[in-house]
Amino acid sequence: MRDQSISIAQRISGPFKWFVALAFFVVFLIVFLGYSFFQALSENQLESRNEFLAKQVEFASRDIQKTFRSMDQDMVFFVENLEAWTYERTSNEQLAFEKRARRIFNNHRNLVDSIIVVFPNHVLSFHFDKGNNFVRTFHSGLEEIPLNHGNEIRFKSQKNNLQIITKVNTNRFLSSELSNFYLGASAEKLVYIDGKLLGFSEMNLSPGFILDDLSLEKITNDIREGIKGEYEGEFNNSLTGKNYRAVIHQYPFDFHPFDKDFAVIFIQDKKLITSGIYVTYISLFSGLLLLLIFVIAILFQFNRNTQVANKILSQKADEINELFRRQTFLLQESKGFIYFQDAKGEMTSVGKEVEGVLGYQQKEFIKNFKDKISPNYIQELNLLIDESIKNLKEVIAFEFEIQKKNGDWIRVKIFEKLLYDEKGAFLGNVGILTDIQEKYLAEQELIKSENRLRAVLKSLPDIIFIYNNSGIFLDYYIQDQSVLFSPAPESLGKSILEVLPTPLNTHFMGFFEKTVQTGKIQTAEFEIMTKLGKKMFETRLFKLDDDRVMSIARDITGQKLWEKGLKDAIKAADQANKAKSEFLANMSHEIRTPLNGLLGIIGLFENTPLTKDQKDFIQIIKDSGDSLSKIINDILDYSKIEAGMMELKMSVFHFKDEIQKIIKVFSGLSIKKDIELTYQYEGLIPTFIELDKEKIDQILYNLIGNALKFTPQGGKIHVLITGEPFLESNIILHFDIKDSGIGIPKDKLQILARPFVQVDGSNTREFTGTGLGLAISKNFIELMGGELKVDSEENVGSTFSFNILGKIFTKESLIISVKSFAGNTPDLDWKNMAAKYPLKILLVEDNAINLQFMQMLMNQLGYDIEIAKDGYEAIEKVEKSPLDLIFMDIQMPRLNGLKATQIIRKKAGGEAFKIVGLSANAFQEDIAEALASGMNEYLTKPVKIPEIAKVIQSCFFELKKTKGVI
Ligand code: ADP
């Protein structure tokens, strides 16, 4: 559109500029022509005026001269015809003489004042008096008559001595003569008489007219020469005070016998010659110019109007073109065409788009269109048209099926405008037919899918409501209406706030409004008291479309109950598990305590003189005790794992030495069972590795132990350890324990590592065990970042593999670790302990067996110890006698070891003792608790002699260091 308007503006501004330029040019041309024409005209005027003046001056001059001459001739004739006796002879003659005088007088009245006839004897004069009477006067002599010798002309007779003297008035004569000429108001009539200028004014000649010297000189010269002339000069009329540049015309004449220079001079104000024409011309020209400007302005306006009109026209044309283009486009896009029908329903014309829409030629369609309409609709259509015409309806729309040229039937829609005359008679119609086949099919599909949706919604067990955006119920799909507050049909048209009870309604409305505002699905749970009791509903609210919201409510009462039951069950299981762990821990403690005493005493018993049989029996008791101890340890380990309390205790150790030690442990058994136990290293195995040594040991003891257990006599066991450096200072250690044993059935492989699982679970089973070894090993391996894998074939053998990540020790760090490693293994001569490390020791123990064992143990070490049976006794002992070291049982009646330690530590000097806790509880938190109460160390029962010895030794060195003396 923008481009278009620019182009229109450009179209206008081009000619417009030219038009203005042309207008200016025309005005200029006209002014120029007007001026030139004026110039020519005024010159012409001047010329013709000059001509006129020249002629007039000549006429005047000639007239004057002629009249004067005739008077002269008359006088000459008069005088020549006079006789001396004329007047004396007869009265008739006298009369004739007088008549003649009178006639001359009459002829030259303006010139002649009086005529004096000089007879020899008398003088006779004639003149007219004031009353215009002709008066004749006799004079005795000429002397009587006053003569001034200026204005008389004397005529003397040639034949006698008679004389006539004529008194003339030249002034009157000339002015009378000049009065015959009319030159116009702007001209002056002058008479030149011997260098003087006399002007004609009121039938008289008067002075007061001055010409510039130069002109006057020229004129004087010309007159003297007797030449007429035309001049230009400055003229001043002192009578009127006018002063102007004048054109001057002069014509000399002769007044003989007056010997003077005479001329008639006509003077005309030069300006005034043209001023008349100037004013007329200017006003005419101005008028014309104004007319021209007016015409140009009108033309201009007309042009502008035309341009504006053109512009509007062009815009309108563009708009119409655009409209046509759009209409065509619209028709093409909407697959439609326009048609016209007359009052009879015959088609008069149809748009060419018909071919694109239906495939028919225009003419063909006009002729046969009625046959193409599906017969199913004809009647309905005709009825509609008839009804509409009857009711003077202006527009109608109708859908029907029509057959295309190619035979296809399509759905079309017509939209017709019906036309009527003023009287309401139907004139015909104009209509648009559009192909709506695709839309129709889509609609049909939508209806089908809506029906399907409806069917689905109807079959859903949920409670479905549809609302408008204000929360008014519009529709519902509900199977079981028994849970509703009121029958669903009654809620239609009502709002949520009306239908639902308070406070549920406001609560629900809150979610509803949020759904409308955010357009996001909202989920809410509601507890509702229904006729059937309390029920839980989960409701989802979402926008169905722009105007509607749908809620789907589902009865989740059952689900909730189930969830609650599950939660309770989990809680119960957790509690049971905890109880199990606690039970395991307690049981192991309870078993450990007597076992501790048993093994301790056996240990002591070994050192007494015994017979061979006794020694054998003791060995059996010891072995049984050890395996019982192992079982308890396993159970304890497992319950620790279960409780998530197992932690890694890292230490640096000589890897190959440790492996060798483990293999050595099993060598006795392997020889006994005639099993070939071999081991091998591959890859890079560093000398020192940082790992949880005890756990590695335990894993290997379990796996190699199992291999030995489940491999029959003459079998083979091979342990392969592969090292693979990883990153800078790490190593992946891969272990394979391969046996040629009984193998494991495939279906048992998966569950093997579960606790308490044994392949042969029968009472009559051949192999002993708890079924915990693999479970513990698997957990340890996973704790160290590895994985346990089992590969086995029944009656062929099994391979247990795992890999773990360790840390390689460099040479520098190795020195330190080797030192600490060496320092960590005390090699004590515990039989002379008391002599070497003299200390005052208190044993706090409530259990009689343990007490006995500890007493015996301490005696063997050479110490005489103090004894307390509970916490209170311990405190008493501390107060009474000086002590260095206290072995304190944790679980005791009255006051337990932890509390007793706290009290002792608070007493004066209570800091000085070394307190070592003793307990069958080996959980980490037990140790932590003991240390927190103020104990220095913690030993788990059954206590081993080397452990006790080590504690005593370090206590001695520490006290020596702090106290200096012992
Ligand atoms: P235990 O050996 O104390 O019964 P384990 O957890 O160590 O418990 O082993 C569980 C079971 O896995 C064993 O009872 C045995 O049936 C099977 N098993 C373990 N190692 C082997 C092996 N090397 N060859 C065959 N069976 C094995």
Say which CATH number the domain at 88 has: 3.30.450.20
Number of domains in the chain: 5
* Average pLDDT for 494-503: 88
* Average pLDDT for 149-165: 82
Which amino acid is residue 926, in one-letter code? D
How far apart are the CA of 768 and the centre of ligand 1, in A? Answer: 9
Q: How far is CA 150 from CA 147, 240, 730, in A?
A: 8, 30, 171
How far apart are the CA of 631 and the centre of ligand 1, in A? Answer: 14
CA 865 from chain centre, in angstroms, equals 92
710 CB near ligand 1 (under 6 Å):
yes
774 CB near ligand 1 (under 6 Å):
yes
How far apart are the CA of 785 and the centre of ligand 1, in A? Answer: 23
**Within a domain: residue 591?**
no
638 CB near ligand 1 (under 6 Å):
no
How far apart are the CA of 584 and the centre of ligand 1, in A? Answer: 22
In this prediction, residue 15 has a pLDDT band, given cuts at 50, 70 and 90, of: low
Q: Using CA atoms, how far apart are residues 757 and 340, in angstroms rounded to an integer?
A: 96
Residue 552 φ/ψ, nearest 5 degrees: -120, 115
User: For strand 347-350 and strand 797-808, is the pairing parallel, antiparallel, or unpaired?
Assistant: unpaired
Cβ atoms of residues 117 and 98 within 8 Å? no
CATH number reported for the structural domain that contains residue 752 in this entry:
3.30.565.10
Do 48 and 185 have their domain in common? yes
Q: Output 342-348 pairs: Cβ under 8 A, ≥24 positions apart.
A: 342/427, 342/428, 343/425, 343/426, 343/427, 343/428, 345/385, 348/428
Cβ atoms of residues 353 and 337 within 8 Å? yes
752 CB near ligand 1 (under 6 Å):
yes
pLDDT, position 5: 42
Most confident stretch, 305-319, 490-504, 582-596 = 490-504
Q: What is the atom index within ligand 1 of the atom nearest the CA of 634?
A: 3
Question: Who contacts 427 (Cβ-Cβ below 8 Å, separation ≥6)?
Answer: 342, 343, 419, 420, 421
CATH number reported for the structural domain that contains residue 852 in this entry:
3.40.50.2300
Q: What is the atom index within ligand 1 of the atom nearest the CA of 755?
A: 6
Q: Using CA atoms, how far apart are residues 732 and 711, in angstroms rounded to an integer?
A: 28
139-153, 260-274, 544-558, 691-705: the lowest-pLDDT one: 139-153
Residue 214 region by backbone torsions, left for phi larger than 0, else alpha for psi between -120 and 50, else beta = alpha
Q: Residue 944 gets which letter from DSSP?
A: P
Q: How far is CA 366 from CA 335, 352, 359, 361, in A?
A: 18, 11, 13, 9
Give the torsion through C-alpha atoms of 808, 811, 813, 814, to 10 deg: 80
Q: Which of 637, 669, 758, 767 to mutate to test the pocket of ligand 1 (most atoms within 8 A of CB)?
A: 758
687-696, 881-890, 921-930: the lowest-pLDDT one: 921-930
In this prediction, residue 930 has a pLDDT band, given cuts at 50, 70 and 90, of: confident
pLDDT at 796 over 90: yes
Looking from the CA of 896 toward its CB, the CA atoms found within 13 Å total 9
**Within a domain: residue 263?**
yes
pLDDT at 10 over 70: no
In this prediction, residue 816 has a pLDDT band, given cuts at 50, 70 and 90, of: very low
pLDDT, position 472: 93
Looking at per-residue pLDDT, the higher value among 754 and 675 belongs to: 675
Which amino acid is residue 803, in one-letter code? N
**Within a domain: residue 325?**
no
Q: What is the token pair recorded at 488?
A: 């669903």
205-214, 293-302, 534-543, 817-826: the lowest-pLDDT one: 817-826
pLDDT at 365 over 90: yes
Question: Who contacts 122 (Cβ-Cβ below 8 Å, separation ≥6)?
Answer: 87, 138, 139, 140, 141
Q: Using CA atoms, how far apart are residues 919 and 926, in angstroms rounded to an integer?
A: 9
Residue position matching structure tokens 């001079």: 265
773 CB near ligand 1 (under 6 Å):
yes
pLDDT, position 822: 35
Q: Using CA atoms, how far apart are residues 109 and 115, in angstroms rounded to an integer?
A: 11
From 786, 816, 791, select the one nearest 802 (Cα to Cα). Answer: 786
pLDDT at 559 over 90: no
Q: Residue 908 gets which letter from DSSP?
A: T
User: 631 in helix, strand or coil?
Assistant: helix
In this prediction, residue 700 has a pLDDT band, given cuts at 50, 70 and 90, of: very high
Do 872 and 803 have their domain in common? no
Domain boundary among the residues 555, 577, 605 is at 555
What percent of the chain stands above pLDDT 70?
90
How far apart are the CA of 775 and the centre of ligand 1, in A? Answer: 10
| Residue 659, beta-bridge partner list | none
Burial 401-412 (b: 16+ CB within 10 A, else e): bbbbeeeeebbb
**Within a domain: residue 242?**
yes
Handedness of CA 848, 851, 855, 856 (dihedral sign): positive
Cβ atoms of residues 803 and 733 within 8 Å? yes
pLDDT, position 815: 41
pLDDT at 145 over 50: yes
pLDDT at 826 over 50: no
How far apart are the CA of 757 and the centre of ligand 1, in A? Answer: 8
Q: Which of 673, 738, 774, 776 to mutate to test the pocket of ligand 1 (most atoms within 8 A of CB)?
A: 774
pLDDT at 281 over 80: no
Q: Using CA atoms, how far apart are residues 729 and 806, in angstroms rounded to an integer?
A: 9
pLDDT, position 454: 76
* Average pLDDT for 159-186: 84
Do 653 and 800 have their domain in common? yes
Handedness of CA 564, 565, 566, 569 (dihedral sign): positive
**Within a domain: residue 365?**
yes
**Angle CA 733–737–739, to nearest 5:** 165
What percent of the chain stands above pLDDT 90?
18
Do 860 and 805 have their domain in common? no
pLDDT, position 812: 47
Q: What is the token pair recorded at 110?
A: 């303006």
pLDDT at 9 over 50: no
In this prediction, residue 818 has a pLDDT band, given cuts at 50, 70 and 90, of: very low
897 CB near ligand 1 (under 6 Å):
no
706 CB near ligand 1 (under 6 Å):
yes
Which amino acid is residue 625, in one-letter code? G
Q: Which residue has a Cα nearest atom 16 of ligand 1? A: 759
770 CB near ligand 1 (under 6 Å):
yes
Q: Using CA atoms, how far apart are residues 434 and 402, in angstroms rounded to an integer?
A: 11
Q: Output 823-830 pairs: Cβ under 8 A, ≥24 positions apart.
A: 826/946, 826/949, 826/950, 826/953, 828/946, 828/949, 828/950, 828/953, 830/860, 830/861, 830/945, 830/946, 830/948, 830/949
Q: Which residue has a Cα nearest atom 23 of ligand 1? A: 707
**Within a domain: residue 619?**
no
Q: Residue 810 gets which letter from DSSP?
A: -
pLDDT, position 810: 63
H or E stretch at 318: helix 270-333
DSSP assignment of 27-44: HHHHHHHHHHHHHHHHHH
Looking at per-residue pLDDT, the higher value among 756 and 174 belongs to: 174
* Average pLDDT for 525-532: 75
pLDDT, position 350: 92
Residue 335 region by backbone torsions, left for phi larger than 0, else alpha for psi between -120 and 50, else beta = left
Q: Which residue has a Cα nearest atom 9 of ligand 1? A: 771
832-882 pLDDT, tens digit each: 778 888 888 999 988 877 788 788 788 878 888 889 988 898 888 888 878
354 CB near ligand 1 (under 6 Å):
no
From 877, 890, 879, select the one nearest 846 (Cα to Cα). Answer: 890
**Angle CA 429–432–434, to nearest 5:** 150
117 CB near ligand 1 (under 6 Å):
no
pLDDT at 728 over 60: yes
In this prediction, residue 37 has a pLDDT band, given cuts at 50, 70 and 90, of: confident
pLDDT at 609 over 70: yes
* Average pLDDT for 98-127: 84
* Average pLDDT for 919-932: 76
Q: What is the token pair recorded at 198?
A: 């006399």
Do 341 and 289 have their domain in common? no
121-135 pLDDT, tens digit each: 778 888 888 888 888
Q: Which residue has a Cα nearest atom 3 of ligand 1? A: 769
pLDDT, position 763: 46
CA 637 from chain centre, in angstroms, equals 67
* Average pLDDT for 258-266: 88
Give the torsion through C-alpha atoms of 65, 246, 42, 223, to 10 deg: 40
From 478, 482, 497, select the one nearest 552 (Cα to Cα). Answer: 478
* Average pLDDT for 447-468: 82
105 CB near ligand 1 (under 6 Å):
no
Domain boundary among the residues 820, 846, 875 is at 820
pLDDT, position 516: 92
719 CB near ligand 1 (under 6 Å):
no
How far apart are the CA of 654 and the centre of ligand 1, in A? Answer: 29
* Average pLDDT for 800-814: 75
Do 119 and 249 have their domain in common? yes
pLDDT, position 757: 67
702 CB near ligand 1 (under 6 Å):
yes
Which amino acid is residue 436, in one-letter code? I
Handedness of CA 154, 160, 162, 168 (dihedral sign): negative
pLDDT at 551 over 60: yes
* Average pLDDT for 290-294: 83
pLDDT, position 420: 92
How far apart are the CA of 554 and the centre of ligand 1, in A? Answer: 52
**Within a domain: residue 27?**
no
Cβ atoms of residues 180 and 266 within 8 Å? no
Most confident stretch, 273-287, 383-397, 477-491 = 383-397
Domain boundary among the residues 301, 322, 343 is at 301
From 729, 709, 915, select the one nearest 810 (Cα to Cα). Answer: 729
Looking at per-residue pLDDT, the higher value among 824 and 838 belongs to: 838
Domain encompassing residue 74: 32-301
pLDDT, position 544: 83
Cβ atoms of residues 902 and 881 within 8 Å? no
Quick count: other Cβ atoms within 10 Å of Cβ 880?
9
pLDDT, position 73: 87
Q: What is the token pair recorded at 65?
A: 């001269």
799 CB near ligand 1 (under 6 Å):
no
Q: What is the atom index within ligand 1 of the atom nearest the CA of 774?
A: 6
Do 735 and 861 have their domain in common? no
Do 435 and 490 have their domain in common? no
pLDDT, position 923: 65
pTM of the model: 0.36
How far apart are the CA of 764 and the centre of ligand 1, in A? Answer: 16
How far apart are the CA of 491 and the centre of ligand 1, in A? Answer: 71
Q: How far apart are the first and last CA of the chain?
A: 114
* Average pLDDT for 651-677: 88
Q: What is the token pair recorded at 257?
A: 């016998």
174-217 pLDDT, tens digit each: 888 888 888 877 788 888 988 888 888 777 788 888 888 888 89
pLDDT, position 581: 67
801 CB near ligand 1 (under 6 Å):
no
Q: Which of 706, 766, 768 to mutate to test the pocket of ligand 1 (most atoms within 8 A of CB)?
A: 706
Do 880 and 742 have their domain in common? no
**Within a domain: residue 695?**
yes
Q: Using CA atoms, how far apart are residues 27 and 228, in angstroms rounded to an integer?
A: 46
Do 873 and 806 have their domain in common? no
Q: Which residue has a Cα nearest atom 8 of ligand 1? A: 771
467-493 pLDDT, tens digit each: 999 999 998 888 777 777 778 888 889
From 263, 232, 245, 279, select the one nearest 50 (Cα to Cα). Answer: 232
pLDDT at 920 over 60: yes
Cβ atoms of residues 494 and 473 within 8 Å? yes
In this prediction, residue 829 has a pLDDT band, given cuts at 50, 70 and 90, of: low
838-851 pLDDT, tens digit each: 888 999 988 877 78
Q: What is the mean pLDDT of the chain?
A: 82
pLDDT at 303 over 90: no
Do 128 and 54 have their domain in common? yes
**Angle CA 452–457–460, to nearest 5:** 125
Do 294 and 381 have their domain in common? no
